[in-house]
Chains A and B, each alone.
Chain A
């Protein structure tokens, strides 16, 4: 085990995940303490754009594992590929975005290399005696937990998106190919296809801005005003569980404890009471706006900006105002 910090730079379809550059920022701060290099690892098939994007973000080296069988994510093949990169680099720690891919891959890789693991971390630093300190939200965000990962094992850590600022760099890091050799049995799980969720409206898990509606929207048709504002803001549409259970929105848009955890730059909650299970999924957002007729609704306690009022009046007005701003 050495001093370098390895970043698994997640890409899909040759697009680098924004969280990868945020991990480079975290990695730079760790490497500043360990005295090692920041090394990125890109795994996939056609990955040149993703490689270029991370190469220019302040990394010293980029290891590229390219193979046709790595075009789509597979927990087995990606584990084998990343473990090979870890063996080559011998890093102190491995960072990756806490996406669906990263959360899935981190524990598997950690076991494979006999390391230690922490997931969905919001702050990472070098602790005493060579340990690594990580802070992560627990109990639906109702508490924060400090964990130390032991000095004698490689630390594999997934980093919550949108917590660290993206890194940008000076000189491009050198690119080194690493051949992929599948491990026996890696073909037991395949990856048949990746179907893009249709339409122009983004998914909540990948959006910087989310406009979310609750039970108070009363029907699927009424969600149109939420979609109108979302389109104007280039945002995703989210929903409370009550709205999803009532059939106004698909479960894939549910935010919360049993829905998705999101950390956008802006979350606009329209007619959502702010039940603890909803807050669990969105309280990590940078800026929170609440619109609710009930001044006592708990969502206002979590909000940076609140409007006590009828969403059916306020939301279309917001759409107009944003439109004016965008076309001014």
Chain B
């Protein structure tokens, strides 16, 4: 069985957002970059499958991103992936989510992965489009936002659970397939220092647009959304702090929620 994990490098969740002069990006200088937390669960799932079974031949980790994204791949190699693919080209920067999926589809289509794993969304642009879009492009079944995943002994099918509004769906699926993973599936592990050293020796393939003759055709037929600008979120008016004895503030709050906020 060949497993592909797709990751993205994103700014750490505590990053203080400053807007770049272009208005279309954030100021990247000094920002700490990490593996998207949901993608950490994805690599963890792949590594756990390998630990639990004897039929996992390879775990490949793939990203699209600038030179710095190689660091995210190294982290995943240290956690347990065997090899990495880094799609890096200035031409990839302007692709939207669906086109990024088309780019990845063009690269992985012939490589015969049995299972593709991905976080349910990215914590930067937060779109969550890549997984389902890639599944459609590769004509694979997918299950999104999975919190439990059990692969059958023969590796030909699986049962995935996902939590939806007030309920849990239990979804049987056939492999090859793609799943996106949610929090609760597993705890992600940290790479150890010795493994980070060893990861430097694992193979990493860099591919640019010139290496992919079909690239323009693959991304030309869909998507094309443009990020026009980023701006601060809508501001809330300053809140009211209620002061006084507990009995008094509790009564006052309930009255305000009823009459002023019309929330209860």
Give the B-binding residues of A (Cβ under 8 A). Answer: 12, 17, 72-76, 79, 99-101, 103-108, 110-112, 114-120, 133, 136-150, 153, 185, 188-197, 202-203, 205-206, 209, 233, 251-252, 254, 257-259, 265-266, 276-277, 280, 283, 286-290, 295, 300-310, 313-314, 317-318, 320-322, 325
Known: A101-B164, A185-B139. A137 touches B239 (CB 8 A): no
A258 contacts B162, C-beta separation under 8 Å = no
- In the assembled complex, the CB of B162 is this many whole angstroms from the nearest CB of chain A, namely 7
Q: A143-B26, A148-B225, A309-B249 are in contact. Are A287 and B230 (CB under 8 A)?
A: no
A303, B14: Cβ atoms closer than 8 Å? no
Q: Which residues of chain B have C-beta atoms less than 8 A from A133's C-beta?
A: 228
A223–B159 CA distance with the chains assembled, in angstroms: 33
Q: Which of B44-52, B194-202, B216-224 contacts A (4 or more CB under 8 A)?
A: B216-224
Across the interface, which residues of B come within 8 angstroms of A141, CB to CB?
233
Contact A189-B142, Cβ < 8 Å, known A257-B13, A277-B13: yes
Are B258 and A306 in contact (CB-based, < 8 A)?
A: no
Q: Which chain A residue shows the least CB distance to B183?
A: A258
Q: What DSSP secondary structure best describes chain B's contact surface?
A: mixed
* Shortest distance between the CB of B209 and any CB in chain A (Å): 21
Indicate whether B153 reaches chain A with its CB closer than 8 angstroms: no
Cβ–Cβ contact B142 & A75, under 8 A: yes
Q: Which residues of A contact B139 (CB under 8 A)?
A: 185
Quick check: B230 and A117 within 8 Å, CB to CB? no
Flag if B230 contacts A103 (CB, 8 Å). Answer: no
Q: Cα distance A306–B240 when bound, in Å?
A: 6
Cβ of B80 within 8 Å of any chain A Cβ, yes or no, is no
A321 partner residues in chain B, CB cutoff 8 A: 250-251, 253-254
A194 and B133 contacting across the interface, CB-CB below 8 Å: no
Tell whether, in the assembled complex, residue B166 and residue A206 are in contact, meaning their CB atoms are under 8 Å apart.
yes
Contact status of A142 and B233, CB under 8 A, knowing A188-B141, A188-B174, A192-B171:
yes
Check if A114 sits within 8 Å of B222, measured CB to CB: yes
- Cross-chain contact B227 with A305 (CB below 8 angstroms): no
Decide: A304 and B264 in contact? CB cutoff 8 A: no
Q: Is B132 an interface residue (CB 8 A)?
A: yes
